[in-house]
């Protein structure tokens, strides 16, 4: 088997306190998490530098506004970009998109883009979007529906990936991470690539069904299969949790094994893949 160049896309969902607050169900406010997430992020940046890995941080727009640390941190957003990573939008304040009206979603896309671009002094256009909570997972045109979205078409147009893609294009976004599994995939008939595919869809680049976390299993998947791209994601908050696949030990495992393999493996940012095909 000839091994081709493999591209690994790594996306960090950097929620920030506003995101962590809006992720908490029904009540698990924990101030320590806010500080831990940022401390972890600093650790992650160091490790990425050591391995010379460039990746993408999807950040909530509110976090990039001027304000009180740790609730907002424009300087850190600027630093992430200055260290060579792509900055993408993770919405304005980590909304559950299917529950919001079209105008609210459009506003969230617009505001987050403006705030993040301002924080990095317009040195990179914000063209990527990572939907909070990976919602919607419904995509009717592709035979995928998810009751977990809590609200879907025809009650909520924003509860369908097809519609979100249209909104993103209007707001000037060029790539989006999407999560959906059609019935065949759910039933296990179609053996899916656990790290998803990356392809152009109506003029926007889709990064589908990413894999969350690191470690032996996904590292073997990358080394032993022959896909052109692999999309991984992780949360800085989980980096210090011992029992999480996204923790430091597993990140180091994956980076070391990929680095030491004799395969042609390259970490790329989604923005680097635009206009390639």
Binding site for Zn ion (CB under 5 A): 13, 15, 132
DSSP 50-106: HTT---EEEE-GGGGSS-STTT--HHHHHHHHHTT-EEEE--SS---GGGS-HHHHH
Least distance (Å) between residue 61 CB and Zn ion: 12
CA distances from 109 to 65, 90, 166 (A): 15, 9, 12
CB neighbours of 225 closer than 8 A, spacing ≥ 6? 193
How do the residues of the chain divide into helix, strand and coil, expressed in percent and rounded to 5?
45, 15, 40
Q: Which is closer to Zn ion, CB of 6 or CB of 135?
A: 135
Comparing CB distances to Zn ion, the nearer of 108 and 219 is 108
Report, in Å, the least distance between residue 276 CB and Zn ion.
Answer: 27
Minimum distance of Zn ion from residue 58's CB (angstroms): 8
Q: Measure the CA angle with vertex 193, ends 191 and 198; round to 5°.
A: 135
Q: Which residue lies nearer to Zn ion by CB, 23 or 182? A: 23
CA pair distance 116, 7, nearest whole angstrom: 26
15/160 with CB nearer Zn ion:
15
Q: Which residue has the closest beta carbon to Zn ion?
A: 13
CB of 22 to Zn ion, least distance (A): 9
Cβ at position 237, least distance to Zn ion in Å? 9
Nearer to Zn ion (CB atom), residue 15 or residue 37:
15
């Amino acid at each position: 088997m000839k091994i081709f160049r493999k591209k690994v896309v790594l996306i960090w969902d950097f929620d920030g306190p506003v995101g962590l607050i809006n992720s908490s169900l029904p009540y698990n406010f924990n101030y320590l998490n806010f500080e831990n997430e940022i401390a972890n992020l600093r650790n992650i940046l160091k490790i990425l530098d050591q391995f010379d890995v460039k990746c993408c941080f999807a950040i909530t727009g509110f976090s990039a506004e001027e304000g009180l640390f740790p609730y907002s941190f424009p300087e850190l957003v600027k630093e992430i970009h200055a260290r060579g990573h792509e900055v993408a939008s993770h919405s304005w304040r980590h909304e559950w998109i299917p529950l919001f009206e079209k105008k609210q979603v459009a506003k969230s896309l617009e505001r987050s883009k403006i705030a993040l671009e301002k924080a990095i002094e317009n040195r990179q256009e914000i063209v990527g979007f990572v939907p909070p909570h990976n919602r919607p997972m419904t995509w009717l045109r592709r035979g995928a529906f998810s009751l977990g979205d809590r609200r879907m078409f025809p009650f909520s147009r924003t509860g369908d990936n097809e519609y979100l893609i249209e909104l993103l294009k209007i707001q000037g976004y060029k790539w989006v991470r999407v999560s959906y599994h059609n019935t065949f995939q759910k039933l296990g008939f179609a053996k899916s690539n656990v790290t998803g595919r990356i392809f152009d869809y109506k003029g926007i680049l889709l990064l589908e069904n990413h894999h969350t976390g690191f470690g032996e299993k996904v590292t073997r998947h990358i080394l032993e299969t022959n896909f052109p791209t692999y999309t991984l994601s992780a949360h800085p908050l989980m980096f210090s949790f011992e029992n999480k696949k996204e923790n430091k030990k597993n990140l180091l495992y994956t980076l070391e094994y990929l680095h030491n393999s004799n395969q042609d493996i390259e970490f790329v940012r989604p923005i680097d893949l635009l206009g390639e095909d």
